[in-house]
Amino acid sequence: MMKPWFLLLGVLPCLTFAAEDGRQLVQMPLEARAEMRAEMLDFQSSLHQIVDALASGKSAEAADIAESKIGVSAMGRHRNAPPNARPGMHMPNDMHMIARNMHVAGSEFARTARAGDLTKALAALQPVMGACVACHRSYRTQ
Ligand code: HEC
């Protein structure tokens, strides 16, 4: 039988590995970060509602939520805020591109979902969630 401390030896290198973070640090004013977090929580809730609507056979509802909360219609939420509270102004170009692509994918999903084919709708939701993952895996703010 393996001794418990052997298991610990196995775990330690994993812990040090986890402490290394290859993501790019993006420095943003605290106000911009607070705005971003509020927006992010809304995205997460919207995704949850979208999947719920799809699972209940309410594709049109899923489409409405996606367009208004994530799609192109949801762009420019910080347009009238001062520069220090506008996250987009502090994003590197590639990060900003992921954000824009997410909005476009949200609208594309909405169009697809409205057509009512669940499999196609799910496939169209994939690039939306892919943008969440791509950005979170590439960038950090702290
Ligand atoms: C362009 C980059 C980008 C995209 C796209 C993006 N996020 Fe984020 N997200 C961030 C950053 C940066 C933070 C950390 C903000 C901070 O605290 O400074 C964050 C934080 C969050 C948080 C934590 C909020 C909190 O209260 O701390 C959630 C939840 C989240 N994102 C969900 C999502 C979801 C869901 C999507 C896709 C629909 C998404 N994000 C798309 C960059 C992004």
Q: How far, in Å, CA of 133 to CA of 32, rounded? A: 20
Query: What residues make up the domain containing 55?
Result: 26-140
pLDDT tens-digit readout, 90-111: 999 999 999 999 999 999 999 9
Bridge partners (DSSP) of residue 15 are none
Mean pLDDT across the stretch 119-142? Answer: 98
Residue among 27, 40, 102 whose CB has most ligand 1 atoms within 8 A, to mutate: 40
Is 63 touching ligand 1 by the criterion CB < 6 Å? Answer: no
Does 14 fall in a domain?
Answer: no
Q: Of 73, 70, 69, 53, which Cα lies nearest the Cα of 114?
A: 53
Give the global pTM: 0.89
How many distinct structural domains can be found in the chain? Answer: 1
Q: Which atom of ligand 1 sits closest to the CA of residue 91?
A: 1
With contact defined as beta carbons under 8 Å apart, do 60 and 124 qualify? no
Does 8 fall in a domain?
Answer: no
What CATH number corresponds to the domain at position 48? 1.20.120
For residue 70, name the pLDDT band (cuts at 50, 70, 90). Answer: very high
81-90 contacts, C-beta under 8 A, 24 or more apart: 81/35, 82/31, 84/29, 84/31, 84/32, 85/29, 85/31, 85/32, 85/34, 85/35, 86/32, 86/35, 87/28, 87/32, 87/33, 87/35, 87/36, 87/39, 89/32, 90/26, 90/27, 90/28, 90/29, 90/32
20 vs 54, more confident: 54
pLDDT of residue 3: 56
